[in-house]
Amino acid sequence: MLKVGITGGIGSGKSTICHFFSLLGIPVFNADQQAKRIMNESSLVRSKMMVHFGKDIYLKNQTIDREKLAGIIFNSPPLLQMVNAIVHPEVRNYFFDWCKRQQSPYIIHEAAILFESGFYEMMDYTILITAPEQQRIERVMKRDQSSSQQIRERISKQWPDQEKMKLADFIMKNDNRELVLPALIKLDQKFRTHG
């Protein structure tokens, strides 16, 4: 089964693009949602997280204290790498199990850090969704009431699009000017025929 990775910076609209693929009947694996779920549900991940970050990294209801974790890792690349080293192998294992259960010509793997994590190497194709920075900031401000400063900080932590473009097989502009639907249908046909 063909594996297609989709990524894009915060506010680029990758979730919207993935939704279009799901409307075409293509299963979408959201790596970021699965990582959150695994941090809460996997006893192996939970015990490793508590060893490295203390028992109070989990709330009383046994879910990860996302605010506390974000505060710890936001300005510390080594600690972020440590979290990724704990969580990513479990997400990867779950992804391959999930793939075995799918019955479609191809699947979509949606991930914010597809290239940064190296996971793109396991995909047959990769699609990068781009949008102008100001547009991305406005989208995220509308979506989750963050300030433009907070969003700029988050953008600064991600690889710039220019770096991702070097690795992407397809680049899709989601700038509300170019129509994305015809390009999506073309890609869908390509992937269905493994062309």
- Note whether 123 and 173 are same-domain residues: yes
> Which of 79, 101, 123 marks a domain boundary?
101
> Which of 101, 120, 144 marks a domain boundary?
101
| Spatial separation of the C-alpha atoms in residues 143 and 137, rounded to whole Å | 10
**For 51-103, how does the pLDDT look when each residue is reduced to its tens digit (9 = 90+)?**
999 999 999 998 999 889 988 887 788 998 999 999 999 999 999 999 999 99
| Spatial separation of the C-alpha atoms in residues 110 and 99, rounded to whole Å | 13
**For 115-163, how does the pLDDT look when each residue is reduced to its tens digit (9 = 90+)?**
998 999 999 999 999 999 999 999 999 888 888 888 888 888 889 999 9
CATH number of the structural domain spanning residue 164: 3.40.50.300
Locate the DSSP E strands across 49-145: 106-110, 125-130
